Structure 1
Amino acid sequence: MGDEWHREKGRFITDRVLDLRWGALPTSSVIATLPMCSVIDYDAWSRHNGYVWLRQPRADGQYGYLPCRNADSNEAFGKFEPLS
């Protein structure tokens, strides 16, 4: 799709309800609706389609995608932590 992904391992903790999706698009199918304070470990990020997206490796070898920031205002939807 031409999206540029940047490798980065980290942890994101949501500060609101967010949808984890099968693709990094607002129209992609929802895997799960995550409640506030959900913890997501991610391995890459991308800025496109109005959001900064995180890529979450899943146990089945697939990925989940979570919007973590508004790409225009740069407002984060939670907080970032390094993986230990």
Structure 2
Amino acid sequence: MYGTVKNGRFITNRVLDLRWGALPTSSVIATLPVGTVIDYDAWSRHNGYVWLRQPRANGQYGYLPCRNADDNEAFGKFEPLN
């Protein structure tokens, strides 16, 4: 299990890298522009960030830093899933 299970939606307010792992050095899946909407199913706080886990169509996961773990600055807006 990864971190805390919680479903939600995140909308980026800056360019962010979606990665194959929840590490700043993990391989990049895609560079997401401002306004990208990501649905997530869990989060975890480590390696300097709060990371969201995004389920992928192939059964794997992508990981997105959504917040600075030190000052809690969010890199976008959180919304509930409808």
- TM-score of Structure 1 vs Structure 2, range by shorter chain: over 0.9
* Matched residue type, 2:36: S
Structure 1: segments with no counterpart, 5+ residues = none
TM-score by length of 2: 0.98
Q: Distance in 2 between matches of 1:56 and 1:17?
A: 17
The alignment's C-alpha RMSD in Å is 1.2
Structure 2: segments with no counterpart, 5+ residues = none
Q: Does 1:54 align with 2:52?
A: yes
Q: Does 1:17 align with 2:15?
A: yes
TM-score by length of 1: 0.95
* Identity across matched positions, percent: 84
Q: 2:79 maps to which residue?
A: 81
Q: Distance in 1 between matches of 2:38 and 2:64?
A: 9
* Matched residue type, 2:11: I
Q: Distance in 2 between matches of 1:39 and 1:80?
A: 10
Q: How many residues align?
A: 82
Q: 1:8 maps to which residue?
A: 6
